[in-house]
Amino acid sequence: MDMPESKKHINLVILESPGKVATVNSYLGSGYKVISCKGHVRDLPKSRLGVDTENDFKVKYINIQGKSALITELKKEAKSADKVYIATDPDREGEAIAWHLATVLGIEPEQALRVAFNEITKKTVQSGIDAPHPIDMNLVNSQQARRILDRIVGYKISPYLWKTVKSGLSAGRVQSVATRIIVERDAEIEKFVPKEFWTIEAILGLGKNQKIKAKFFGDENGKIELDCGEEAQKIVDACRDSEFSVKNLKISKKSKSPEPPFETSSLQQVASRRFGFHSKRTMKVAQELYEGVDLGAANGGVHGLITYMRTDSLRISDEAAAAAEALIRAKYGDAYYPSKRKVYKSKAAAQDAHEAIRPASMDFTPEDIRPFLSSDQYRLYKLIWDRFVASQMKNAEYDAVEVDFISAGYIYKLSESVLSFKGYKLAYSDDDEVFDKTSKLRGLKEGDVLGIGEILATQNFTEPPAHYDEASLIKFMKEKGVGRPSTYAPTITTILERGYIERDKKLLKATPLGVATVELMKKNFPKIVDYKFTANMEDDLDEIARGNDTLEHVLGAFYGDFEKTLAKAQEKIGENKVELPVEESDIICEKCGKRMIIKSGRFGKFAACPGYPECKNTKPLDASGKSKKEKEEPEKTDLKCELCGGDIVIRKSRYGKFYACSNFPKCKYTKPIREEIGVACPKCGAPVVKGFGKNHTVFYSCSSYPTCDFSSWDLPTDKTCPTCGGMLAVKKGKSVLVCMNKECSYKENLPEEKPEA
């Protein structure tokens, strides 16, 4: 006899994200029902402060608008279940969501069955369900303290900014500091005065037509800085008439350790540098890999591929280390595994609640599961995989040679390192070092005299510091202790959306609004935009999480001083009004003749008539701030639309030309025009064409697709592999030719001029 429907699922598991439901459900089986609460179910009200600052910061939470039906469903499912497991994300925010869920469902925190999955694998999920624990109220109170702090700062300072700067502005505790960082870097660049300095380089003959370049250092008393051309020329003249001999020569062995496995900030930095990913994009893809990807029936369906991606820990489990060791010994050999396991220490401020970001299982290599991953997923997963494997491997080793040359009493230096043992670089490296190359300097000995080719003096000027991009800003925030792994990406997104900063290609620059707001905050609320104060506040929140401090004490210590500061600022509100500079354009309003000004809106910059509201004329602007031109007339063809029979025209986009139906928008037929690259397909002989994949990444494929399935991320060439006769291709992003035959390892370095790939 079949069981009633209400009794089939006796245990309820509530997850935070809908993306994990299918994965977890497949691991637990029919005895469980897995659903999602879709994030927070309760929060502070939007219409008022919601915090009683006079009564130990008691909070008035309300159910989030639009979630009534979901909460009703959660209550219904919980009521009919034998057990309710709350399996929200394994961080403070997840712990707070678990507490809010328990409150809504009428479950006492100490009675709750709280489960946290550091990785979404079958073993971890089942182990977590077998060993639930109560809700950690220290973590909850730490999150509440952060939320209340941010609410107080936002709701108390924002009205002040409306009256002094511009209506609609909002203040944020961490966001204000991040904006200040960018504003001050921009000011540093603007005030920078270049200083002249000179360098000298001697080109010396080494025999067998080999030449080396030795750089001027100083004299036998130490380093000499050259700040004028006359001084440099005096040294050049003296050395030109004097022989160069080897004064000192030092040969040594050096080693380079691998980087530790990723934590949140380092993953965001490297993904930005290598792939151009914004931090928000990196975290989105990492979330997908953590929650689970369907790898097909042959691989067991859906699997979580990485550990939790919001962490500042470098710790890995013994089980993960053992799995990495087994893979390294099997793939690279025993010589590539160190005699003692590598262990990386997290920084003192790290919360260390989770492991570093690593593959959840070593069973799924990036190459094996590539067909099941999107381009972004594959690139990020491979990056995490390679870095983790390399972190457990032996150091790379070098033969180093350092030479001091002397001429006319002046010292010139030259050093060279030759890679003698690849070590971890077999798995992960940022460079293309040549292995086992012969050192030019090893044959030298003290007293050897070298022939002089040329001695060149070059004028240089010091460079200003670089503008921040996302990677360098995140690095700086981490070094200063501003924010935590979960806040880096949303902080940058927020200050971009609020118009305090803007993107200039990859660079982040302050807007006039950001500059004015930071100056006002520094004058009236110095602590809120102070690096040390913000970092110390993060430490105080950590102390609450550890149970060493209380929410009431931390908030009380902050609010007493803040209230006085706010009162003083309110007294001077009239004299602190800020006039934002008006940015004029070169566009004349065709309706009233006035010169239009540039404003920022929800969809970017636009030109507006300064005669508003009498004249409401506006114009969209392109990325360079110029008025967008009228759309170009499409190019006509003799082709007919496959869908409606209309005329086909050729249109242009930023990614090249494409066919489109002239009946748009009624008919939305489009077809990309693939550009031939002058190479025949190695499979069928048809022309190879250039195309764009997901996120507009370039790839190459056969023009006869889908009849022929040839495709490649690397640029095919008409060159033939000397080893196996296969086709050679330019490796994507590198100056290297590689054989397209997977079984052939032929590689050839290209000249310095890198072909586009």
pLDDT digits (tens, 9 = 90+) for 303-326: 999 999 999 889 999 999 999 999
User: Is the residue at 576 inside a domain?
Assistant: no
Provide mean pLDDT across the span 518-547.
92
Query: Quick check: 478 pLDDT over 80?
Result: yes
Kindly list the strands in the beta sheet with 670-672, ordered across the sheet, starting from the edge strand earlier in the chain: 635-640, 647-653, 656-661, 670-672
Query: Quick check: 30 pLDDT over 80?
Result: yes
- pLDDT level of residue 624 (50, 70, 90 thresholds): low
- pLDDT level of residue 628 (50, 70, 90 thresholds): low
- Shared-domain flag, residues 470 and 499: yes
User: Is the residue at 88 inside a domain?
Assistant: yes
Query: Quick check: 190 pLDDT over 80?
Result: yes
- Shared-domain flag, residues 346 and 326: yes
Q: What is the reported pLDDT for 510?
A: 94
| CB-based contact 237:200 (threshold 8 Å) | no
User: Is the residue at 661 inside a domain?
Assistant: no
- Shared-domain flag, residues 10 and 128: yes
Weakest-pLDDT range from 64-68, 127-131, 625-629, 650-654: 625-629
Looking at 391, 414, 438, the residue that finishes a domain is 391
User: Structural domain of residue 371, as residue ranges?
Assistant: 264-391
Q: In whole angstroms, how far apart are CA 651 and each of 399, 441, 620, 632, 710?
A: 57, 59, 21, 8, 27
Q: What is the reported pLDDT for 696?
A: 59
Query: Quick check: 695 pLDDT over 70?
Result: no
- Shared-domain flag, residues 490 and 567: yes
Q: Tell me the one-letter amino acid at 273.
A: R
- pLDDT level of residue 18 (50, 70, 90 thresholds): confident
Mean pLDDT of the chain: 88
User: Is the residue at 24 inside a domain?
Assistant: yes
Q: What are phi and psi of 504, to 5 degrees?
A: -120, 90
Give the number of C-alpha atoms closer than 13 A to the C-alpha of residue 193, restricted to the C-beta side: 0
> Model pTM?
0.74
How many Cβ atoms sit within 10 Å of the Cβ of residue 508? 23
Tokens 């009004």 found at = 577
Of residues 290, 308, 468, 700, which has the active-site annotation? Answer: 308
- Shared-domain flag, residues 130 and 9: yes
Q: What is the 3-state secondary structure (H, E, C) of 235-269?
A: HHHHHHCCCEEEEEEEEEEEEECCCCCECHHHHHH
User: Is the residue at 633 inside a domain?
Assistant: no
- Shared-domain flag, residues 163 and 179: yes
Burial class from Cβ neighbours inside 10 Å (0-12, 13-18, 19+) for residue 530 reads middle
User: Is the residue at 537 inside a domain?
Assistant: yes
Query: Quick check: 756 pLDDT over 50?
Result: no
- pLDDT level of residue 5 (50, 70, 90 thresholds): very low
How many Cβ atoms sit within 10 Å of the Cβ of residue 644? 13
Instruction: Choose among 476, 416, 467: nearest CA to 212.
Output: 416
Looking at 336, 362, 391, the residue that finishes a domain is 391
- Shared-domain flag, residues 305 and 370: yes
| Per-residue pLDDT tens digits for 344-390 | 987 755 555 679 999 999 999 999 999 999 999 999 999 999 999 99
| Per-residue pLDDT tens digits for 126-159 | 999 999 999 999 999 999 999 999 999 999 999 9
Provide mean pLDDT across the span 54-58.
93
- Shared-domain flag, residues 555 and 484: yes
Provide mean pLDDT across the span 331-338.
96
CATH code of the domain in which 472 resides: 1.10.460.10
Query: Quick check: 466 pLDDT over 90?
Result: yes
Q: What is the reported pLDDT for 215?
A: 97
User: Is the residue at 646 inside a domain?
Assistant: no
| Per-residue pLDDT tens digits for 715-753 | 888 888 877 778 888 887 677 788 888 777 788 877 644
| Per-residue pLDDT tens digits for 215-269 | 999 999 999 999 999 999 999 999 998 999 999 999 999 999 999 999 999 999 9
Weakest-pLDDT range from 270-284, 309-323, 339-353, 470-484: 339-353
| CB-based contact 565:525 (threshold 8 Å) | yes
- Shared-domain flag, residues 306 and 386: yes
Percent above pLDDT 70 for the chain: 93
- Shared-domain flag, residues 378 and 417: no
Provide mean pLDDT across the span 1-12.
58
- Shared-domain flag, residues 377 and 403: no
- List Cβ neighbours of 560 (8 Å cut-off, separation of 6 or more): none
Q: What is the reported pLDDT for 45?
A: 92
Q: What is the reported pLDDT for 702?
A: 86
Residues forming beta bridges with residue 456, ordered by sequence position: 201
Is residue 290 among the annotated active site residues? no
- Shared-domain flag, residues 517 and 531: yes
| Per-residue pLDDT tens digits for 415-460 | 999 999 999 999 998 776 777 777 888 889 999 999 998 999 999 9
Number of domains present in the structure of the chain: 6
Q: What is the reported pLDDT for 623?
A: 54
Percent above pLDDT 90 for the chain: 57
Provide mean pLDDT across the span 609-636.
73
Looking at 135, 159, 176, the residue that finishes a domain is 135
User: Is the residue at 647 inside a domain?
Assistant: no
Provide mean pLDDT across the span 626-650.
77
